[in-house]
Structures are given as structure tokens and as C-alpha cells.
């Protein structure tokens, strides 16, 4: 099963709702912040899934997947 396109769209649209990077679009969060969540634990629920997905995308150098979606 491939990536969920709706999940990927949310990564380029949803803003971080709290913390140091509040207001940043999730796909623009620095990898160091995502690494911190990976060490400390991702939030529960949808936000946690999105942050964990973004972490995996950045970790594996797959950010080009999101470029076409940023147009929407």
C-alpha cells in the first residue's frame, strides 16, 4: 500500500498548533525538532501521525514527494 495522499496533503497545509514552531507548516519544521519528538515521543492522535510521517520523509530524503502538493 502506498502513501495516503490525504495525509501528504495535510503535511503541506497544516500548521504546528503549539510549541517553539507554532504556526509553521508541518513540512517546513526543521529536522532537529522532529528528531526531538522522536526521542521524547510524538503527540497522540492525528498530529502525532503527521509529525512521525514528516520525520520519516525527512529522515529518508523523500521531501521531493511533497513538492507537487505544495501547489494546492
- Matching residue, cell 496533503: 9
Residue-wise pLDDT tens digits, 27-66 = 999 999 999 999 999 999 999 999 999 999 999 999 998 8
Residue-wise pLDDT tens digits, 4-23 = 778 899 999 999 999 999 99
Q: What is the DSSP string of 1-44?
A: ----HHHHHHHHHPBP-SSTTTTSBGGGS-HHHHHHHHHH-PPS
In this model, does residue 68 exceed pLDDT 90? no
In this model, does residue 72 exceed pLDDT 70? no
- Matching residue, cell 530524503: 61
Amino acid at each position: 500500500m502506498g502513501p495516503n495522499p490525504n495525509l501528504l496533503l495535510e503535511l503541506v497545509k497544516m500548521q504546528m498548533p503549539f510549541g517553539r514552531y507554532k504556526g509553521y507548516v508541518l513540512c517546513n519544521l526543521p529536522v532537529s525538532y522532529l528528531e526531538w519528538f522522536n526521542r521524547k515521543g510524538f503527540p497522540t492522535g492525528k498530529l502525532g501521525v503527521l509529525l512521525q510521517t514528516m520525520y520519516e520523509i525527512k529522515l529518508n530524503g523523500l521531501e521531493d514527494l511533497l513538492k507537487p502538493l505544495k501547489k494546492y
